[in-house]
Structure 1
Amino acid sequence: MNTSISTSAPAFTENSIEARIDAYDWPSLARELDGFGCAVLPKLLAPDECAAVSGLYCEERHFRSHIIMARHGFGRGEYRYFNYPLPGLLGGLRTALYPHLADIANRWNERMGIEERYPDEHAAFLKQCHEAGQRRSTPLLLQYVSGDYNCLHQDLYGELAFPIQVAILLSEPSRDFIGGEFVLTEQRPRMQSRVEVVPLRQGDAVAFAVHNRPVRGTKGSYRVNLRHGVSRVRSGMRHTVGIIFHDAR
């Protein structure tokens, strides 16, 4: 359903996307996610792929809704949720990233005492979402201009929520925009919040915890709560694509 190729997206083969993602050092990425709640996948997309995806923003036919953040108290800026079928590049990324992240998510749930386990393939997980009434696509394309920012938040959308998501920076810092850093905060029980500012370049992706992750304590693992956002863009225009693995009600 989500692997059709749009004429506006870069040409690719599903195998090339899978090979690109499989080539990352996933044990190292898993350790980063375990330790800090986020991990960077450098140069996931090439500059021409970034330009092709960001260029979709003005093409209404690709999207199911358009959100102006200020109207909802989300910050300043705007974003659009993609329709199904997704453009081929995004569908391929979503399908290929999921199995690597599902292994981490299942281990997290075991450590946090959560019974839910995620299937090996993304199609099987989407089937669970649709059976639960969550049928609307969630990948989104975000656009920020000078003065825009995204308040700290969590992308849950329903009872079924995959605990890790991926954001890919499509613009080049310093050249296309200044400011607009990706920010992650973590609140541990009876402690002050910890802030992680993630430096990204064009084409880099960051995988991060959506809601909770386990942290090892003296009496075993416990849950910490995370939120993410984007600091104020000081000049220029910033585009990001967000890959969320569960669908919405």
Structure 2
Amino acid sequence: MNQPRTNIIDPASMAVSAEDRVATYDWAALNTDLDSFGCAILPKLLTADECRAIAGLYPDETRFRSHIIMARHGFGKGEYRYFKYPLPDPLAGLRTALYPRLAVVANEWNERMGLDERFPGDHASFLQRCHDAGQTRPTPLLLQYVPGDFNCLHQDLYGDIAFPIQVAILLSEPGRDFTGGEFALTEQRPRMQSRVEVVPLRQGDAVAFAVHNRPVKGTKGNYRVNLRHGVSRVRSGMRHTVGIIFHDAR
């Protein structure tokens, strides 16, 4: 179902719609990266002004449905807040615009892994599937780290229905706003040691990555690998990230 939007950015800075900015990327190349490495970078998905405006929402409790202190749950050290509906622009627009591009990859992955589930072509239809299953709480979130904070390796699964790819956007500038805090993705292959991918991001860059499983082509066909993601220790400054998860939660 479509959700209403609330602007947080001066409309003049939103001259390029979410659909138009998503369409500018070479999706054939991005899909190849997702297939090869389990992740793909979308440079400058948000402007610096948009990044600062979204990060600036963090103290405003009226924008969020819950506040998580990671250490209380063994998730690491740091904190994050889940947005409530309506999501702020440009996040609402990007969630809608990114989904159809990634659904193509998700459906191909499920076919290769021998899974029956297929994802609809538009995000509204997928959200309706989540809501029919009792998953109605929005999952996009805003994370904040200070020196010593980190995020343990994890998977963002919030119910029986889960979209297999999500997007994280770095809102702070490495080397200026913070040091450390690298995004890392680990991949566990059968009977092999885990592979680590450290993803270099600048302010406004997004990374699309596998949430749980993805297929890898071997000598005897495709096999399934398990992925987790996390953030290394922040050494100085403050780091903000926004996460766009496409399924809703129970």
- TM bin (shorter chain): over 0.9
CA RMSD of aligned residues (A): 1.1
Unaligned runs of 5+ in 1: none
List per-residue Cα deviations over 1:21-67 (Å, max 9, x = no partner).
01100000000000000000000000000001000001111100000
The alpha-carbon distance between structure 1 residues 218 and 10, as it changes in their structure 2 partners (threshold 3 A), is farther
Unaligned runs of 5+ in 2: none
The alpha-carbon distance between structure 1 residues 3 and 41, as it changes in their structure 2 partners (threshold 3 A), is farther
Q: Which whole-Å CA distance do the structure 1 matches of 2:215 and 2:63 have between them?
A: 37
Q: Which whole-Å CA distance do the structure 2 matches of 1:10 and 1:114 have between them?
A: 44
> 1:187 maps to what in 2?
188
TM-score, normalised with respect to structure 2 = 0.97
Q: Report the alpha carbon displacement of residue 10 of structure 1 after superposing the two structures with TM.
A: 4.4
TM-score, normalised with respect to structure 1 = 0.97
Q: Which whole-Å CA distance do the structure 1 matches of 2:44 and 2:161 have between them?
A: 30
> 1:237 maps to what in 2?
238
Q: Which whole-Å CA distance do the structure 2 matches of 1:190 and 1:178 have between them?
A: 35
> 2:50 maps to what in 1?
49
The alpha-carbon distance between structure 1 residues 233 and 10, as it changes in their structure 2 partners (threshold 3 A), is farther
What is the identity, as a one-letter code, of the residue corresponding to 2:157? L
Q: Which whole-Å CA distance do the structure 1 matches of 2:15 and 2:23 have between them?
A: 12
3-state SS of 1:49 partner: helix
Q: Which whole-Å CA distance do the structure 1 matches of 2:112 and 2:160 have between them?
A: 20
List per-residue Cα deviations over 1:177-200 (Å, max 9, x = no partner).
000000000000000000000000
| Amino-acid identity (%) | 74
> 1:99 maps to what in 2?
100
Task: Note if contact 1:10-1:49 (Cα within 8 Å) is conserved in structure 2.
Answer: no
The alpha-carbon distance between structure 1 residues 10 and 245, as it changes in their structure 2 partners (threshold 3 A), is farther
List per-residue Cα deviations over 1:93-152 (Å, max 9, x = no partner).
000000000000000000000000000000000000000000000000000000000000
> 1:70 maps to what in 2?
71
> 1:118 maps to what in 2?
119
What is the identity, as a one-letter code, of the residue corresponding to 2:29? S
Task: Note if contact 1:3-1:87 (Cα within 8 Å) is conserved in structure 2.
Answer: no
> 2:213 maps to what in 1?
212
Task: Note if contact 1:165-1:244 (Cα within 8 Å) is conserved in structure 2.
Answer: yes
The alpha-carbon distance between structure 1 residues 50 and 10, as it changes in their structure 2 partners (threshold 3 A), is farther
Q: Which whole-Å CA distance do the structure 2 matches of 1:186 and 1:157 have between them?
A: 20
Report how many aligned residue pairs link the two structures: 248
Q: Report the alpha carbon displacement of residue 5 of structure 1 after superposing the two structures with TM.
A: 2.3
